[in-house]
Structures are given as structure tokens and as C-alpha cells.
Amino acid sequence: MKIILGSSSAGRKLIMNELSKELGFTFEIMSPDIDEKSIRHDKPSDLVMAIANAKADALVSKINEPSILICSDQVVLYDNQIREKPIDENEAREFLQSFKNITIL
């Protein structure tokens, strides 16, 4: 059965590459090409599930053989705010700067 990673994320590809080496399977990548920013939810778990489902919905009609389709998303909840992938280098720096104030319990 074909395994498909429904993502264009370099990080997810790296994880799948490592898993495939360790477990001995092959996979292919399909980019869902959706507008993730148009999907909004206040609850982080609802947001990531909605985005992952939208990715799967965008790809399932393009798959014409029995397959396992893996789609996911992730966000960070910081100070009760959902933080998604930074939009640019400046926002990434702001995020990293704010994380230095985190207290680990």
C-alpha cells in the first residue's frame, strides 16, 4: 500500500525520511496547496485538526489507489495566543525573543 505525506513541510519530510529508514518503508510527498490562514479556530486543537482535514480533503481526490494519507499541522500556544508559522524573519525573531521569558516548571 502506498504511503503519502500530504505536506510540503521540510521538517515533516525529514521526520518521515528518518522513520522510513528505521522502519523500512517508502513514501511519496503530495503538497495540499491550501490557504491555511483562511482556516481559523480559537482552540488550538480545533485549528490543527481543521487544517489537517483541509489538507486531506484537497488531496484525496488526486489519489487513485489504496493509500495511507498522512496530513497534520502544528501550532504553538504561548501566553494564551496561537502562534503559527512565522510570516517572515522578523516575526520569527519576535517569537524567539519572547520565548526566552518562559519559566519551565
- Whole-number pLDDT of residue 104: 73
Which residue ranges in the chain fall short of pLDDT 50? Answer: none
Structure pTM? 0.85
Q: Count structural domains, the chain.
A: 2
What is the identity of the amino acid at 50? Answer: A
Whether residue 79 sits in one domain with residue 69: no
Whether residue 56 sits in one domain with residue 82: no
The answer to whether 47 and 82 have CB atoms below 8 angstroms apart is: yes
Query: Which has the closest alpha carbon to 76: 90, 58, 94?
Result: 94
| Cα–Cα distance measured from residue 59 to residue 100, given in angstroms and rounded to the nearest whole number | 38
73 noted as active-site residue: yes
Q: Could you say which of 42, 57, 73, 88 is catalytic?
A: 73
- Whole-number pLDDT of residue 24: 97
Q: Which domain holds residue 96?
A: 75-105
Give the number of C-alpha atoms closer than 13 A to the C-alpha of residue 40, restricted to the C-beta side: 3
- Whole-number pLDDT of residue 103: 76
Whether residue 47 sits in one domain with residue 6: yes
- With a CB cutoff of 8 Å and minimum separation 6, the contacts of 99 are 78
Whether residue 97 sits in one domain with residue 48: no
Whether residue 79 sits in one domain with residue 64: no
CA angle 33, 36, 41 (to 5 degrees): 155
